[in-house]
Amino acid sequence: MEKKINIAIDGYSSCGKGTLAKALAKALGYVFIDSGAMYRAVTLHMLRAGVDVNDETAVSDALNALQIGFVNNADNLSEVTLNGVSVESEIRNIEVAAKVSEVAKIQSVRTRMVALQRAIGQSKGVVMDGRDIGTVVFPEAELKLFMTASPAVRAQRRFDELIAKGDDVTLESIAENLQHRDLIDASRENSPLTLTNDYRVLDNSDLSKEAQFDLAMDWAKKAIAGN
Ligand code: DC
């Protein structure tokens, strides 16, 4: 049987990490895990419970009362669950987006999520996207991608996505939220977004989804073959 590897995809918000990760997982028959969805589900819980996300102690206490997991939907894609219930669509709203970086800064939250992520990756055959997957979660991942795109391209993509869903948002508010999250994600003390020299950098500002997929698939095949 062909060797299975883990693929780590890190990068800024709205760079198309999820789209590429899903396509790679489908083509390789691997499991796709959106680690950002886990931080979003924790955030959703805090908002619902009225916990102040800037109060680390309150967040840590509330963390003990929640279970994060995944279920497969009808399309065989994993959806994040909060206490056993899929919250895949609720976690994409602007309220969660506005607070998630604050929650993801908290070490107790990260420790819990990283332990879950490592357990999922133990038997290999996982494509996981996030911010610290190749640096902290799977430092031994056989393929690490760092995705980037220009801020304007990223804001437009997220705007189009939310408008298609029927959300009432402006391009300016999206651009501001992305900038805010980039800053926190890259400058936080705990597991900041960064890359090491074993990453392959993929700037997709001017790449079609197909061209990007072909490139990444070529790298994946080489990594599976062990070179
Ligand atoms: O990928 P996303 O936009 O859904 O991620 C939501 C937030 O979670 C983002 O602001 C950074 C944080 N995050 C993180 O700190 N570590 C990860 N592995 C994934 C996401």
Q: Is 80 inside any structural domain?
A: no
Q: What is the mean pLDDT of the chain?
A: 94
Q: Which residues pair with 126 in a beta bridge?
A: 6, 31
Which atom of ligand 1 is found nearest the CA of 17? 1
Q: Is 71 inside any structural domain?
A: no
CB atoms within 10 A of CB 221: 14
* Segment 27-38, tens digit of pLDDT: 999 999 999 999
Task: Give yes or no for residue 14 having a pLDDT over 90.
Answer: no
Phi, psi dihedrals of residue 150, rounded to the nearest 5°: -65, 150
Range in 16-30, 66-80, 141-155, 204-218 with the lowest mean pLDDT: 66-80
**Residue 94: per-residue pLDDT:** 84
Task: Give yes or no for residue 1 having a pLDDT over 70.
Answer: no
CA dihedral 6, 63, 53, 173 (to 10 degrees): 40
Q: Is 82 inside any structural domain?
A: no
Q: Is 200 inside any structural domain?
A: yes
Q: Which residues pair with 90 in a beta bridge?
A: none
Q: Is 44 inside any structural domain?
A: no
Task: Give yes or no for residue 77 having a pLDDT over 90.
Answer: no
Q: Is 99 inside any structural domain?
A: yes
For the entire predicted model, the pTM comes to: 0.92
Cα of 2 to ligand 1 centre, how many Å?
Answer: 31
Host domain of residue 154 = 6-34+94-224
Average pLDDT for 198-204: 95
- Residue in the block written with tokens 């499991």: 31
- The CATH number of whichever domain residue 215 belongs to comes to 3.40.50.300
Task: Indicate which residue's Cα is closest to atom 13 of ligand 1.
Answer: 36
The per-type count for the chain, helices as H runs and strands as E runs, is: 8, 8
Task: Indicate which residue's Cα is closest to atom 1 of ligand 1.
Answer: 36
Which atom of ligand 1 is found nearest the CA of 113? 18
Q: Is 151 inside any structural domain?
A: yes
CA distance linking residue 71 with residue 85, whole number of Å: 9
Average pLDDT for 158-167: 90
Q: Is 169 inside any structural domain?
A: yes
Over pLDDT 90: what percentage of the chain?
A: 78
Q: What domain count does the chain have? A: 1
Of 100, 147, 180, 188, the residue with max ligand 1 atoms within 8 A of its CB, to mutate for a pocket test, comes to 100
Pocket around ligand 1 at a 6 A CB cut-off:
13, 35-36, 39-40, 100-101, 104, 130-133, 181, 185
Query: What is the pairing mode between strands 85-86 and 78-82?
Result: antiparallel
Task: Indicate which residue's Cα is closest to atom 15 of ligand 1.
Answer: 104
Task: Give yes or no for residue 131 having a pLDDT over 90.
Answer: yes
